[in-house]
Amino acid sequence: MEIKVSQENLPLFVALASDTRIRMVEMLSKENLNIREMAQRLNLSSAIVTKHVQQLEEAGILRTEVTAGKRGMQKQCSLRLEQASLVFKTDDVLPSEPHQDGYDVDIPVGQYSSCQVKPTCGLASETKLIGMRDDPRYFAEPEHVKAQHIWFAAGYVEYRIPNYVSGKNSISELRISLEIGSEAPGYAEDWPSDITFLLNDVPMCVWTSPGDFGSVRGKLNPSWWDPGSSQHGLLKTLLVTSSGTYMDGVRMSDVSIQDIPILPKEEIRFRILSPENARNAGGVSLFGRHFGNYGQDIQVRIRY
């Protein structure tokens, strides 16, 4: 998630300007807790902790849910915001808002145009597994377009990004946002994976995913999904401009948009690759708008 440094987001920055609230965020990053449990650990009254929780909730940092406990109803707290990048300089163009020099496209994770994967692997829609686990043949099943979660231990999936740029215009910036993680059998929080991102067969950068996250259930996962499997990924933003390639604002390589062979009116191929011979060969897990923690598909923004 990208957060613009502006007055409109001041409540979030104010909410984090407190030692107590930072300690609460640190605790909730490890496990979900109720008000009484946090009050005991912080050596504060439940009333004071409740006020801090309200401020963090209003800022969109955590969420609360009233559940039944041993001593009656209790307010359970969990993190809503797991990762964010601060944007200090912006072009003030809102996501998905039409404008004269660019466009946005959402690509469901199941709508890949080509693939080559190896087990462990599989696909899941909102309602069921698509085919059988660990059988790459089902990646060719026509129902793969309905997949909301896909995973593979090695190989790639590739997506077609439509190219609507015409005339003498050329693409100046391409931004891709997606929820992604590693792929381990079952899951493994510490399971690094070197994932390569390519555009039209040009490697843009290699990002090392820290793990395959499964200890905490994905907020959007359907009820039938196995708790012993991957649950969510990290929200990552890949940006390619005339000055290089960036991941969440961090420069990853010198590869620029001019280095990509993009022909007028021809689609752009976006490949997500986990090489078998990578130093950290840890696979790929992708999450769509109805799985994981972020309600989005693969979001693409093109500027020209």
Amino acid occupying residue 31: E
Coil vs helix vs strand at 104:
strand
Res 99: pLDDT? 46
Closest to 5 measured CA to CA, from 111, 84, 103, 106: 84
CA dist 291 and 286 (Å) reads 9
- Residue 150's DSSP bridge partners are 123, 286
For domain 2-79, the CATH architecture is: Orthogonal Bundle (1.10)
Would you say 207 and 197 are in contact if contact means Cβ atoms under 8 Å apart? yes
Q: Where are the beta strands (DSSP E) in 70-228?
A: 72-79, 85-87, 102-107, 114-124, 149-161, 173-181, 193-199, 202-209
Q: Which pLDDT score is estimated for 268?
A: 97
Whole-number pLDDT of residue 86: 77
User: What does 56-89 look like in DSSP terms, one character per residue?
Assistant: HHHTTSEEEEEEEETTEEEEEEEES----EEESS
Both tokens assigned to 42: 């912080």
Rounded CA separation 8/92 (Å) = 13
User: Where are the domains positioned within the chain?
Assistant: 2-79, 91-303
Contact partners, residue 100, CB within 8 Å, separation at least 6: none
Q: What is the pLDDT of residue 92?
A: 42
Residue located via tokens 């280095």: 259
Mean pLDDT by 10 residues, the chain (304 residues): 70 87 92 92 92 87 80 82 72 43 94 98 97 97 97 98 88 96 96 98 97 95 95 96 92 96 93 97 97 95 94
Tell me which amino acid residue 62 is. L
Q: Count of CB atoms within 10 A of residue 152's CB?
A: 26
User: Architecture of 91-303 per CATH?
Assistant: Sandwich (2.60)
Distance CA 38, CA 261 (A): 54
Tokens 């300089």, residue located: 89
- Assign residue 39 a region (left: φ > 0; alpha: ψ between -120 and 50; beta: otherwise): alpha
**What pLDDT is stored for residue 96 in this prediction?**
39
Confidence (pLDDT) at 123: 98
